[in-house]
Chain A
Amino acid sequence: MALTDPQKRKALQEFVQEVYTGDNAVPATFTKDEIVAAATAIDGWIDANQASFNQALPEPFKSGASASLKAALFMAIVERRFRG
């Protein structure tokens, strides 16, 4: 289910806090609207690719894990890939 506007706003807040705030922050080079547009596109991509993502999983995880468990593993992999 696609994110609502308030959920996208929350994602924007978390992104800004994570990337543009604090000692290791990089300068913000995108406006709020540009970041929200990217978030919308990512959200749409997840919708469009949910089935193929599920199809790529091996058994027994594919049939045995809930959608939230699969999402948790997905997020863990993304985290490791981009943060080491």
Chain B
Amino acid sequence: MATGTIQLSPGAAVLPDGSSGNVQAGTSRRQGTESNPKKHFLALDFDGAGSVPEHAWWSFTLPADYASGGSLLINWFANATTGNVKWQARVSAISPGDTDTPLERAQAAAGNATTGVNATEANRLVQSSITLSMDSAVARDTIFIVLFRDPADGSDTCSVDATVVGATFEYTY
């Protein structure tokens, strides 16, 4: 048994339309502070002070060697030295010929991970891992995955944006 990975970059995320219940994460282009040439990268900013969840979506085909499992590894940082961020993610899996069309298929229950910001220095990288409920996925299914943060959740105590620089779907093959 080994671990397979699928990269989910901020640039590949699909952001929802902003309607009620479908609020999107912010996007930003970040610039490094090193000497030129400075790194530039896209990031997803999930609000910490608001009152509604913000979302970002990815889709991919589950690899042919998928055997089991499913977790979402999130690399993020926040301009804070105190507080926790509660990440949540939901998955829907659709096989060819399923009764539910891709448009109809609802997501399985949310998995979550609550992780503290780096208390030593603001903006240091933090890693969180969410164990996903995989909606009975099998190899070659079409997978939709949504990552979100609900700033009104009592477990989410960090007051500022949590900035995602990358995420990885991990599975067992």
**Chain A residues in the interface with B (C-beta under 8 A):** 6, 9, 12-13, 15-17, 20-21, 25, 27-33, 35
Given contacts A32-B157, A32-B158, is CB(A13)–CB(B49) below 8 Å?
A: yes
> In chain B, residues 48-62, which have Cβ atoms closer than 8 Å to a Cβ of chain A?
48-51
Given contacts A20-B79, A20-B80, A25-B79, is CB(A31)–CB(B158) below 8 Å?
A: yes
Cβ of B50 and Cβ of A31 under 8 Å apart? Answer: no
Residue B6 at the A interface, CB < 8 A? Answer: no
Q: List 11 A-B contacts (CB under 8 A).
A: A9-B51, A13-B50, A16-B48, A16-B159, A28-B81, A28-B82, A28-B83, A28-B160, A30-B82, A32-B49, A32-B83
Q: How far is the CB of A9 from chain B (nearest CB, A)?
A: 5
User: Who on chain A is nearest to B156 by CB?
Assistant: A32
Secondary structure at the A interface, as helix, strand, loop or mixed, is helix
> In chain B, residues 121-173, which have Cβ atoms closer than 8 Å to a Cβ of chain A?
122-123, 151, 156-161
CA distance A15 to B160 in the complex (A): 10
| Residue in A9, A15, A30, A32 with the greatest tally of chain B CB atoms within 10 Å | A32
Given contacts A12-B159, A16-B160, is CB(A32)–CB(B48) below 8 Å?
A: yes
CA distance A16 to B160 in the complex (A): 6
Residue B74 at the A interface, CB < 8 A? Answer: no
Contacts of A28 in B (CB 8 A): 78-83, 122, 158-160
CA distance A9 to B151 in the complex (A): 11
Cβ of A21 and Cβ of B161 under 8 Å apart? Answer: yes
Contacts of B83 in A (CB 8 A): 28, 31-32
CA distance A31 to B122 in the complex (A): 14
Q: How far is the CB of A19 from chain B (nearest CB, A)?
A: 9
Cβ of A29 and Cβ of B49 under 8 Å apart? Answer: no
CA distance A30 to B50 in the complex (A): 16
User: Who on chain B is nearest to A5 by CB?
Assistant: B51
A16-B159, A20-B159, A21-B160 given; 20 more Cβ-contact pairs under 8 Å? A6-B51, A9-B50, A12-B159, A13-B49, A16-B160, A17-B49, A20-B79, A21-B79, A21-B161, A27-B122, A28-B80, A28-B83, A28-B122, A29-B82, A31-B82, A31-B83, A31-B158, A31-B159, A33-B157, A35-B159
